[in-house]
Every structure is written in C-alpha cells, then in structure tokens.
Amino acid sequence: MTAAATLRLALAALIRNKTRSMLTMLGIVIGVAAVLVTVAIGVGARTSVQQSINSLGSNLIVVQPGSVTMTGARTGLGGASTLTPDDGLAIAKLPGVAAVSPIASFRTQAVAGDNNWQTSVNGVAPTYTFIRSWPLAAGRFFNENDVASAAKVAVLGQTVVSQLFPSGDSPIGQTIIVKGAPFTVVGTLQALGQSGLGQDQDDTVLIPYTSAMQRLTGLTTVNVLMISAASADAIDPVTERVTALLEQRHRIVPPQTDDFQVRNLQAIAQTASQTGTIMELLLAGVAAVSLVVGGIGIMNIMLVSVTERTREIGLRMAVGARGGSILRQFLAESVVLATIGGLIGVVVGGTGTLAVAALTHWPTTIPPQWIVASVGFSAMVGIFFGYYPARQAAQLNPIEALRFE
C-alpha cells in the first residue's frame, strides 16, 4: 500500500472519532504551546537584560580611580583622585578607541523659576551621547567650542524636565541655576528609564566637563573616564592599551599598585547571555514534560483503538494485508495526531506569546528553530509512543482477530 493510501486511511480513521482525536491531540497542543511560550519568556528576559546592559554604553570601557594607602589605611576604589581630562585626551589617540568622555559628577539642587529639584549634574564631553547611545529628544548637544570656553549650557534628562518645567513648556532656551550659576538649556535627552540596578537614568543634567570643573567645583580631576571601543572585538585590546598608557602617565612601575581600575561590561554581558540561555533551556525542558505526557495519552488511545478495531484488522489480514501495512497504518494515525497537535500548538503558543508581551512589555519572540523543533519533536513523540500499539496491531493473529467480540 502506498504512503498516500496509508495517510488517507489514517485520516479517515481519525475523522470517524473526531471528539476522541481532538482530546488526544490536546496533550500535544498544550505541550508545544507551553514550550514555545516558555522559550519566548526566556528570550524576552535575556533580551531585556541585554538591552539594560547595552543602554549603559556602546562597547563601554570605564576607568575609575583606584585605591591609595594613607597612614596605613587603604581608601578603597575612588580614593585616588588622579584621573584627569588630559588622560582622556591621550586615551582617545589609542588604536581601537572610538570615543572618550571624562565625567565630573556631583549632586546639587537645580532651580528653574519657582521650581527646584535635587539631581545629578554630570560634566561630560560632546562624545558622551555617542558612548552612551543616548539620542536627543529636542535641541542640540554642546560642542567642542562650548567645552573650550567652559560655556554655561546644559542638556536635561526627562525627569529633570518634568520636575523643573511641570507646565509642559519647552525648556529649550530657558535658564536653570546650578550651584548659583545660570546655565542655558540647549537640549533635552530622550527617556531611557531605569537602569538594571533600578537607578533613574533620566534624573540628570549634563554640562561641559570644563564648566563643571572650572566654574562649579574647582577640581582638576574627574570621577570617571568613559571609553567606547571601536568594536566588541577591540574591547580587550583597548583595555590592555589603556592600562599600559595610564601606568606610563602616572609613573607606576611594579610592584606599585595601579591608582586606577579599568573595567568593561563584556564579562557581565556574556554572563547575562549564558544565564539567559540556561534559563531558556530549563524552562523549555520543564515544558517538554507535558509533551511526553501527551505522547502517553496518544499511546493509550491507540491501544484502545487497536482493541476496538481488532475485527477490522483481522478482516484486512484475511484479504491479504501484510503486517507491515497494518503497522504503518496505525503508526501513521499516531504521527498525524501528534503533528496536527503540534501545528495547533504553534498557533496557541504564538497567541500566548503575544499575550505575555502585552502584559510584561518584554520583547518576546519565538526563534524559528524552536518552532521547527517543537513540531518535529511532537512528530517524534507520535512515532515513539505510537509504535508499540501499531506493532501490537500488526502481530495480531488473523483467525483470532476475526473471532474477537
């Protein structure tokens, strides 16, 4: 008997018992849908974490002040105030470096008219928005001329905009007072929301780092040097070059300890990605158990079907059907049940994924390979759990089958 004829017989047998076939497929439908939804949740969680890390900067490398020992006491990170804007200018000339920005930060009260708000003021370079991948919402960012002249210009985050200008008026061209000095607002930043640590990234005022150092703090050192490598592959080489350059500029020789620390987010991103993958596989594995349960349901129903159709099997054998044809027929019924259930499960899983995305606001997606794998696995479940009942049918004795009541 041809494969097409076997498939037609299998479909006809399943259609005769529509309700039972639908209930049998239900286990496979739930299993496939559960696998796809859990995988989508895992992918969404991993993507969300990755976006939080990426929002901190493009191929970011951070240089922080290190520790110094004073009267026998080690100050810890940040105690060595040795990083300067000149260090940043020297680093910018290194191969593989795309951009550098010194950061001189402090918290203070910002005032606009009758409104005031305590916020974080960051003195940065014009390259800061490129390094942070942080676009403007309106206006402009300050330029090199503003830095060279220590201009009193400012760019506001959206939280500061809402607090200092609650009426909704555009802050562009308005004046805010920072530490008693008037600064003209020249631009606003797009909202970034909270960081992965729960910090409000939009609660900030950006000004030229020269303005922060010369006009507001009088300091000659900066809190951080933020560096963007030209590519992800360049992060490690750039980290090594930055370390060597700063050791040379700060006249540090072994066994002296560096008075700075160079960090990058690559290790954090890799760890987050690996953790997300493990969770994704774990969730899919748990959901796959329901597929096995669905397969057991198929086996149970197929055994019942073999018992109900014993006389039919005996009659077919009596007129010349071979055991292989009987086996293929029942195996085809099992595979068709599982495959159709898998396809319906894909539709249900896709709908469930859209619902999860709407509720959690995560960028949930189902990788195409998981769709193919789920349908393929459901078909394999049909073969695995359908083989035993099919084999039982093929091994029936025709005479005893015809006598079966």
The 10s digit of each residue's pLDDT in 228-251 is 988 878 888 999 999 999 999 988
Please report which confidence band the pLDDT of residue 171 belongs to, taking 50, 70 and 90 as the band edges.
very high
**pLDDT given at position 56:** 57
- For residues 227 and 100, give the distance between their C-alpha atoms in angstroms, rounded to a whole number: 4
Asked whether residue 127 carries a pLDDT value surpassing 90, the answer given is: yes
- The reported pLDDT for the residue numbered 60 is 86
**How far is residue 342 from each of residues 283, 297, 353, measured CA to CA in Å?**
18, 14, 16
Report the mean per-residue pLDDT for the chain.
81
Which among 91, 374, 115, 80 has a CA at the least distance from the CA of 249? 91
Which one has a higher pLDDT value, 401 or 92? 92
CA proximity to 66, closest of 54, 75, 57, 58: 75
Q: State the pLDDT confidence band at 73, using cuts at 50, 70 and 90.
A: very low
Judged by average pLDDT, the poorest of 147-151, 167-171, 283-287 is 283-287
Calculate helix-pair angle for 3-16, 18-54, nearest 10 degrees.
Answer: 100
Does residue 284 or residue 43 have the better pLDDT?
Answer: 43
User: 72: pLDDT confidence band, cut at 50, 70 and 90?
Assistant: very low
Residue 233 CB contacts under 8 Å (≥ 6 apart), including other chains = none
Q: Which position has the higher pLDDT, 48 or 107?
A: 107
Scored b (16 or more CB within 10 A) or e, 157-183 reads bbbbbebbbeeeeebeebebebeeeeb
What pLDDT sits at residue 52? 63
pLDDT tens track for 83-99: 999 999 999 999 999 99
Max mean pLDDT among 26-35, 263-272, 358-367 falls in: 26-35
Rounded-to-integer distance, Cα 290 and Cα 30, Å? 7
Which of 151-165, 186-200, 306-320 is predicted with the least confidence, judged by mean pLDDT? 306-320
What is the pLDDT at residue 295? Answer: 77
**How many alpha carbons fall within 13 Å on the CB side of residue 8?**
5
Q: Write the CA distances from 197 to 52, 194, 200, 206, 362, integer angstroms.
A: 9, 8, 9, 21, 17
> Above 80 in pLDDT, residue 186?
yes
% of the chain surpassing 70 pLDDT: 80
Max avg pLDDT among 116-125, 233-242, 296-305, 361-370: 116-125
| Average pLDDT for 289-306 | 76
Task: Output the pLDDT for position 200.
Answer: 87
Enumerate the β-bridge partners of residue 262. Answer: 63
Range of 201-205, 324-328, 362-366 with top mean pLDDT: 201-205
Q: Pick 42 or 96 by higher pLDDT.
A: 96
The mean pLDDT value for 338-361 works out to 85
Return the pLDDT at 67: 62
